[in-house]
A and B are shown apart, each in its own frame.
Chain A
Amino acid sequence: NSWWLVFGIICFLTLVTRFYKITEPDHVWFVLLECSGVWDETHFGKMGSWYINRTFFFDVHPPLGKMLIGLSGYLTGYDGTFAFDKPGDKYENTSYVGMRMFCTALGASLVPMSFLTVDEMTQSLTGATFASLLILFDVGILTLTQYILLDPILLCFIMGSVLGAVKVSSPRINEFSKSWWFWLVFTGTMLACCISVKFVGLFVVLLVGLMTLADLWNILGDMSRPVMATVKHLMGRSVCLIAWPVLLYVTFFYIHLTVLNRSGNGDGFYSSAFQSQLIGNSLHNASMPRQVAYGAIITLKNHRTGGGYLHSHYHLYPENVGARQQQITTYTHKDDNNKWLIKKYNTEDTGGVTIVRSGDLIRLEHVPTRRNLHSHKEQAPITKKHYQVTGYGENGTGDANDVWKINVVGAKDGTEITAVSSKLKFVHYLQSCALTTSGKQLPKWAYEQQEVSCNPNLRDPNGVWNVEENVFEKLANVSFEVYAPTFVERFLESHAVMFQGNAGLKPKEGEITSRPWQWPINYRGQFFSGSSYRVYLLGNPVIWWCNLVFLVIFVFIFGASAIRQQRGYIKSFSEAHKEKLVACAWLFLGWLLHYVPFWAMGRVLYFHHYFPALLFSSMITEEIPQWFGEKLGNTVYHTLVAMVLSTVVYSFYLFSPLTYGMSGPNANEPNSTMHGLKWLD
């Protein structure tokens, strides 16, 4: 009964702290990252709106988090019309509270879940209370989980996965019982959700995977049980922890791609075939001949993500940039200057219908200016190792350097070339170099369009093109539907695009990004700031530093007891002691897995990336005083817990203005209430 009482009190406290002032501020909340931030409520709120409006967009994260935000908004009557234009906009009559409530609720669930996890791991009420209070009173977690962001959702699922995995491997739940199966499926679901919110969820998948392996290993080692027991466990777990999450993950993407069926600002990142599926896109419901024939007018799209159309215009390369001939670029928008006429290499005659085949020699004539696509041994404007590509000739007559060999990637010579689906390479016949685009922007003289060059390395991955529009009257038009990619193709393509987007998040020169070593010591927070009303994401220093100290103590204790055991001073641990040690070791591993990989990442990192690791370290912090409790007796243990807790509560009181927002003067001005607490610079 006292268990329920404590649990009840903790839940109540959670609700009070989390939902206090939830509607404030009533304008769009935003995060000012040190330099250029696009990570804020405008960002994710906007994506929620897009789901409601069914507009297609591109984001580097998987869709579940934003889908849930969209769903919660939809269910609470948000109509998706609010623009989320810029931070500081008033919400006015928009019902934004639903979305915020949803995120806060998920964030609030962290506290009871951590209570249950620790309770299951250690069977100690005081321990569980202590751990959940640490999470409850951390201002950083509180701040992060109060707004429309992906993090509350992610943290909730991570915690859920850990809870599930702990329950599954607990000796107190009978294997293959109903509740065991429930927790197994629960774990699987949570894992799928984690990884469908952000790819960082991968680390918790790894942790749960290791825990499962360790479980199986223990079962295998139990000689009183047959091998079949292990096989049964293995089967059960691979179904619930591998097959089921994969299925869920794919389902989330299926929903994502089905819901978003209108053209939006994300179209350009995807291939022509993908775009043809979006209502409102110019390729939607288009019809054109399937094969490409000589005499057809085509547009060529580069196959790299976000690649533009092969483009030319009435302007020459400037003096000193290769030969003074007409510019060739790629251009991401659709206009008439993207149109090219496809001709045989030796004749202007286009009578009759001859299909272009892989391996043919062709010329491409720019329709508006009637110049041929041409290349020669001059340096390209930016990528100096490539050759320059120009428009050359008059009225379609040029010279031998206009001849290109057209190849379909991965097909034999003689394959017919089809619109949209054929991946084409254009190899310059005389120089043997491949038409490619480096994706680099040209200077002003080329209107900042992207460079096109001819790469002597024929294996250039950017040198792949496809025909997008195909106008030729002598062939029958077919509907674009024939190119409709299957769900699997769209699924794979959206992953390719996402990974490329993630890899592109590199810090620019001179930009200050937060470095992993700064996180555990709470070195510098992150501004969430409105105009006059500010919130600062900063952990409760007492909790964070406690965590750090206890981590060190844990490593020390663990190392010492391992050495003592190896030296033969400890013959075997007591069951309870062993359980505690194992629990701590798992939590420590969880902390490592969620923290160490960031050291190896070159992408832009932010302070909030540390919060999953923080959950684990908070749970370790709880176990250490227990250790001392065992050694020194209950009184000391309780005094220690009480001392830490009271400091934590007091510091929470001190720092809570950071999270509930303050409207006074800046902290560096002397009359501010926060002046005394000015942080490490």
Chain B
Amino acid sequence: MESLRTRKHKDHLIEQCSDAKKKTEKFKKSNGGLTKKEQHVPNTKDKLFRISFEIDLLSVGLFFCGLITRMYKLEEPKNIVFDELHYGKYVSLYMKNTFFFDSHPPLGKQLIAGAAYLAGFDGRFKFDKIGSPYPDTVPLLALRFVPAFFGSLIIPTSYHLMLELGLAQWTSLLAAILLLFDNALLTQSRFILMESMLLFFALFGIFCLLKFRNYYSKPYSIFWFFWLCLASVSLTCALSVKYVGFYSCCLGLAIIGRDFWKLLSSIAISDRAIFARFLIQTVITASVSVLVYLCIFYFHLKVLYKAGPHDSIMTSAFQASLEGGLASITRGQPLLVAHGSQITLRHTHGRTCWLHSHNHVYPIRYPDKRGSSHQQHVTCYSFKDVNNWWIVKRPNKNDLVVEQPIDVIHHGDVIQLVHGITSRALNSHDVAAPVSPQCQEVSCYIDYNVSMPAQNLWRVEILNKDQNGEAWHTIQSMIRLIHVDTNTALKFTGRQLPDWGFHQHEVAADRIINQDDTVWNVEEHRYTKSEDQKERERELVTAEMIPTAATSLSFWEKFFELHYKMMFSGTESVQNHMYSSEPLEWPLMSRGIAYWVSSTSNAQIHLIGNLILWYSGTFGLFVYSSMLIFYLLRRRRLCYDLDAKSWEQFLLIGETFLTGYLFHYLPYFFVERTLFLHHYLLAFTFKTLLLAALIEHIYSILNDVLKFKIIAYMFVMLVSLWVLVTFYVFQKFTVLCYGTTPLSTNDVVSLRWKDTWDFIIHKN
């Protein structure tokens, strides 16, 4: 038995190469020789060490059509178009090795940056606003080449994807042509934007998975491993271009899961074998994906080692690990916080600001008639300022000079914090805070002799003492300050004080200790030195404590911090963008996005899909769903309209494309961010593929099941006519994709087929 299996295995390996070819031959037969194909290498079945390969000219042809449409006049317009503003900026920062923060993962930008690097882009161009012209120093062709290339690849990929699902070659060709003729895909592929890469990786990943399915009967063969790994890599790449790629991964998992579930029912495989297979499949998928993802981020963090414009989003430790920026300020500052340390305290997570106080007092009464302590403000201030300095002091010592041996503060020690400029101590008491009355007010204590004693003792709690030890470290230690008398924690409340507090952020003490907003860390630090101390001693003190190297964080620390910030930022996106749209508007394409307009004429680029295609796609969704329900109801009453094989096929296209559509569309209803039409492109692609598959199904129903040959013939004619109309609409709207043709006002108005489309018309 065993030997038989291995022999089969070998046979199979040999067959691998000619496998695809056989398939095409089959199609050749079924399509009566209509397909054009060329085989470069003759049959080499019984010869060893030969590689036979074949080229599907259709697929190559489609690729070239894609290249031609996508690359035509790629360098025009020579201006910044829409989001090139952001992505171009990120690419230029890559060139300069400068750290930036973006809530999307980096792969897409890396690919473009790679091309830019090869073309010798020095990154010295300020992507300031949409429409500003590119100078000759920017290798625009190289920058736009990558998205356009991937955009062209989408077309043959979808062709093969359809073939792999067992659909006829004509159908696959139809699907590819439909995608080729969509204006939105064309526009989106021509500029420095992420969607074409995302789309390619997602489709290619699904294609690999379908290939993988062919080897279910021969697990652990080379090709079984190969396609599984390739699928994981490709889908992870999709995820690393934009996180919406996650839904493509889910689709992939759903397909594998569904197949596996079916596999469970086969008695031929033993329990143990099936479990082993499940385990191996999971381990391979997970490890490959994680590895790819980590590599991408490793590269990202490795390349970006200089401080840059988005530093302040990250924690002090992260900033200090970058070259320049905070690192240059904090270099050489003492490491351990001790009695007598002068420090600035930064609010670690969320908004960047420093604990601050100044010579103003809380108003006696607030507008809502609550009283205050009338003591000095304590706030959180977002700018560097001399008033951000505080001195750490032990309650029982008065001399602030740091002496040898240094009196280091440890976890659990009780300290006072004295404001550097006003010399008043940080204090809290049972008075409601100005803006968040459920918290306690924090002030700098002024003694008014009104039987309100100072409560200025704070206990230092170091959160990450497991990593850095019990001593309080500059930058690295994340601390909470617990007010000793009331057991509350010093907290940034996130609200702004009114006018009297100069709109700075409120700081209060909250009973709920365990939250992110109560975490602080020391950013700048120096020891207090009295002038008349002995020179030598002071030098000793400082020299000993200077860190020999700049703060360095391990890759993992940086990786996790970056992800933490990526998860919790992104709420700051623009509200009410002029061209934003709602998910409900997408299927009927209520509005596009103006990408660019020439300053001299009405030549413009506008993201808008092919109207015919989008509407028929939406219509196709309804037709497919209603047919599905119809079949299901009929089958429930034991009326089998389709034979088992075509029923399987019908289900398969739904399980792949309809699920794909829903996976990439429905989640947007729960997204809070501003959304645009281009978020729909993934779902749109699946919708179009479903449409093509549905056309084949209807044709086969008419032709094979109902045997209305004439109607089937008419249906084909109708479809051809529809494709022609689609092409007509496509070429009519290409002016808005390329943006090279100056349009008159009338031209623009005549393209405005729907009242809700907002094209731009210059007024003269």
Contacts and interface: CB of A to CB of B under 8 A. Distances in A.
Interface of A: 32, 34-36, 217, 220-221, 223, 227, 385, 432, 444, 456-457, 459, 508-512, 563, 566-568, 600, 602, 668, 681
22 contacts: A32-B438, A220-B633, A220-B636, A221-B636, A223-B637, A227-B637, A432-B763, A457-B578, A459-B756, A509-B494, A509-B495, A510-B436, A510-B492, A510-B493, A512-B512, A512-B515, A567-B264, A567-B265, A568-B265, A668-B487, A681-B512, A681-B514
Interface in B619-651: 633, 636-638
A457 B581 CA distance: 13
Nearest to A385: B578
B672 interface: yes
A132 B494 CA distance: 44
B246 to A, nearest CB: 15
Given A444-B499, A510-B492, A34 B264 contact: no
B550 interface: no
Contacts of A602: 672
B670 interface: yes
Among A456, A510, A511, residue most surrounded by chain B Cβ atoms (within 10 Å): A510
Given A35-B436, A459-B758, A510-B495, A566 B633 contact: no
Interface string B561-574: 00000000000000
Interface residues of B, number: 30
Given A432-B763, A566-B265, A568-B265, A223 B494 contact: no
A230 to B, nearest CB: 9
Contacts of A459: 756, 758
B271 A567 contact: yes
B274 to A, nearest CB: 8
B506 to A, nearest CB: 9
Contacts of B633: 220
Contacts of B672: 602
A523 B487 CA distance: 20
B517 interface: yes
B560 interface: no
Nearest to A217: B636
Contact of B264 (A456, A457, A511, A566): A566
Q: Interface majority SS on B: helix, strand, loop or mixed?
A: loop
Interface in B348-389: 350-351
Contacts of B514: 681
B502 interface: no
A508 B350 CA distance: 13
B126 to A, nearest CB: 20
B273 interface: no
Contacts of B493: 510
7 nearest interchain CB pairs? A510-B494, A509-B494, A600-B670, A566-B264, A457-B578, A602-B672, A510-B493
Contacts of B494: 508-511
Given A567-B265, A568-B267, A600-B670, A34 B578 contact: no
Interface in B655-688: 670, 672
B513 interface: yes
A34 B438 contact: yes
Contacts of B499: 444
A444 B499 CA distance: 9
Contacts of B436: 35, 510
B512 A566 contact: no
Contacts of A432: 763
Interface of B: 261, 264-265, 267, 271, 350-351, 436, 438, 487, 492-495, 499, 512-515, 517, 578, 633, 636-638, 670, 672, 756, 758, 763
Contact of A457 (B492, B636, B638, B758): B758
B512 A34 contact: yes
Nearest to B439: A35
A227 B578 CA distance: 53
Nearest to B578: A457
A563 B636 contact: no
A32 B495 CA distance: 19
Nearest to B510: A512
Among B492, B499, B513, B672, residue most surrounded by chain A Cβ atoms (within 10 Å): B672
A508 B264 contact: no
A227 B756 CA distance: 46
Contacts of B267: 567-568
Nearest to A564: B264
A444 B487 CA distance: 38
B347 to A, nearest CB: 11
Nearest to B494: A510
Nearest to A599: B670
Given A510-B517, A668-B487, A35 B438 contact: yes
Nearest to A438: B576
A643 B670 CA distance: 43
A511 B515 CA distance: 11
A644 B471 CA distance: 47
A575 B515 CA distance: 51
Contacts of B758: 457, 459
A668 B512 CA distance: 13
A563 B515 CA distance: 42
Contacts of A457: 578, 758
Contacts of A668: 487
Contacts of B495: 508-510
B519 to A, nearest CB: 13
Contacts of B492: 510
A412 to B, nearest CB: 14
B264 A220 contact: no
Given A220-B636, A444-B499, A509-B351, 9 more contacts: A220-B633, A456-B578, A508-B495, A509-B494, A509-B495, A567-B265, A568-B267, A668-B487, A681-B514
A605 to B, nearest CB: 14
Nearest to B763: A432
Nearest to A383: B576
Contact of A563 (B264, B438, B756): B264
A456 B579 CA distance: 12
A64 B351 CA distance: 42
B513 A681 contact: yes
A457 B261 CA distance: 52
Nearest to A506: B672
A567 B637 CA distance: 27
B496 to A, nearest CB: 9
A290 B493 CA distance: 52
Nearest to B262: A566
Given A34-B438, A444-B499, A510-B495, A223 B670 contact: no
Contacts of A227: 637
B369 to A, nearest CB: 12
Contacts of B261: 566
A34 B439 CA distance: 10
B370 to A, nearest CB: 13
A681 B633 CA distance: 54
A382 B621 CA distance: 44
A435 B512 CA distance: 46
Nearest to B267: A568
Contact of B637 (A36, A220, A508, A509): A220
Contacts of A509: 351, 494-495
A459 B759 CA distance: 12
Contacts of A35: 436, 438
Contacts of A34: 438, 512
B503 to A, nearest CB: 10
Contacts of B636: 217, 220-221
Contacts of A508: 494-495
Contacts of A36: 438
A221 B634 CA distance: 10
A60 B334 CA distance: 56
